[in-house]
């Protein structure tokens, strides 16, 4: 019995020794993050680039915006990522002050499957009626009236929404609530909703795949998936009444207006006449005071240096390759100012 206990104890002791060795002997900085899946293709690409250029190891887990917020709140990651900014209430529930850094612009597109019918125009009124289940067939006179010269088939409309909670759903429902009174009162805005009609599919790839497989389907997906997979997308009416095709340029246009100092703003239904109306920022969130959980100064410095690089033209220039729109200059300036307010033991990290 004694020998057994000794063996167990010595194993425990040995393994704990190794742990501390790892911590103190860690010369390379490694940053872990988790959160939104919406910007993942972009993050995957630029994180890899940063690792190969600067030797900083970066790990990103695409577990959803809510998971990202929870991971940061549990202090198991260096930073989180989210598509919906934290409300004042959520911010006050976090264990310490959290700041938002916008990283890239994306959009939610209305994708559909009607062979041979590209670029249909859907007014806000039509969007409301289709997604509330009031229009159920593609040959509805209201759809025809809005798209003169196009022949719509006698085909049932199948609305595909997300079955999981999602920042994409948040941006989509935020827009719907802004343009439709009925939507705002009956469905509302959120990462997951009580859907009036339709069926769910998991993740952007799930929705995109189901739409591609199903004639007569319509749904909303992150623009990068639609652009990369070349799915049919509808033109949507912006606040000046123009029908806008989602593109990098029209998404960028949505962020040309004023941006608040903490960058917490929904860009949906932007005033800009050129803008695609269902656009939005995606953010990285981190603690303002970086000395927590025995984090080293170097770790904190490595984090803000990386984030400063992420909003620099070096990283932003890559965004279009994976079908995101780069941050406008105004947003970059605001983000830089925020990063320069992040402290370690009360002292600013970046000059």
Give contact residues for other proteins (rule: CB under 8 A): 1-4, 63-67, 69-70, 158, 163-166, 187-195, 198-202, 206, 209, 213-214, 216-217
Q: How far apart are CA 312 and CA 307, in angstroms?
A: 9
Return d(Cα 37, Cα 63) in angstroms, integer.
7
Residue among 207 and 236 whose Cβ is closer to other proteins: 207
DSSP annotation string for 67-89: HHHHHHHTT-SSEEEESSPPPHH
- Decide whether 78 or 83 has the Cβ nearer to other proteins: 83
Smallest gap from residue 220 Cβ to other proteins (A): 15
User: In this complex, which beta carbon is closest to other proteins, that of residue 18 or of residue 59?
Assistant: 59
**Residues near 322 by Cβ (< 8 Å), separated by ≥ 6?**
41, 42, 45, 224, 228
CB of 253 to other proteins, least distance (A): 29
Ramachandran angles phi, psi of 45, nearest 5°: -70, -50
Q: How far is the CB of 182 from other proteins (least distance, A)?
A: 14
Nearer to other proteins, 68 or 246 (CB): 68
Query: Cβ 214 to other proteins, closest distance in Å?
Result: 5
Question: Quick one: 113 or 269, whose CB is closer to other proteins?
Answer: 113
266 Cβ contact list (under 8 Å, min separation 6): 85, 171, 174, 280
Taking CA atoms, 330 is separated from 75, 97, 212, 220, in Å, by: 30, 24, 38, 28
- Decide: 131 and 159 in contact? Cβ < 8 Å: yes
Smallest distance, other proteins to C-beta of residue 274, A: 32
């Amino acid at each position: 019995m004694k020998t057994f206990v000794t063996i167990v104890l010595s194993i425990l002791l040995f393994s704990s020794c190794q742990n501390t060795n790892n911590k103190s002997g860690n010369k390379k900085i490694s940053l872990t993050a988790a959160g939104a899946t919406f910007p993942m293709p972009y993050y995957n690409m630029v994180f890899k680039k940063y690792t190969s250029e600067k030797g900083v190891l970066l790990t990103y887990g695409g577990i959803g915006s809510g998971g990202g917020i929870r991971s940061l709140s549990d202090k198991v990651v260096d930073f989180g990522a989210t598509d919906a900014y934290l409300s004042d209430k959520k911010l006050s529930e976090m264990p310490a002050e959290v700041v938002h850094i916008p990283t890239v612009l994306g959009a939610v597109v209305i994708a559909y499957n009607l062979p041979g019918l590209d670029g249909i125009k859907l007014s806000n009124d039509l969007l409301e009626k289709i997604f509330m289940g009031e229009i159920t067939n593609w040959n509805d006179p209201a759809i025809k009236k809005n798209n003169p010269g196009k022949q719509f088939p006698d085909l049932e409309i199948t609305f595909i929404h997300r079955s999981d909670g999602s920042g994409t759903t948040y941006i989509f429902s935020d827009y719907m609530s802004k343009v439709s009174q009925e939507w705002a009162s009956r469905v509302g805005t959120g990462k997951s909703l009580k859907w009036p009609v339709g069926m769910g599919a998991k993740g952007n790839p799930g929705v995109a795949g189901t739409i591609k497989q199903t004639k007569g389907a319509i749904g909303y997906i992150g623009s990068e998936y639609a652009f990369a997979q070349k799915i049919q997308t509808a033109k949507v009416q912006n606040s000046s009444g123009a029908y806008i095709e989602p593109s990098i340029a029209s998404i960028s246009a949505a962020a040309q207006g004023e941006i608040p100092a903490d960058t917490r703003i929904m860009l949906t239904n932007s005033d800009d006449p050129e803008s695609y109306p269902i656009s939005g920022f995606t953010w990285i969130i981190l603690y303002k005071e970086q000395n927590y959980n025995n984090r080293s100064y170097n770790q904190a410095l490595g984090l803000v240096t990386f984030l400063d690089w992420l909003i620099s033209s070096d990283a932003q220039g890559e965004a279009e390759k994976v079908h995101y729109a780069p941050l406008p200059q105004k947003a970059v300036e605001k983000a830089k100012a925020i990063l320069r307010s992040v402290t370690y033991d009360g002292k600013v990290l970046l000059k």
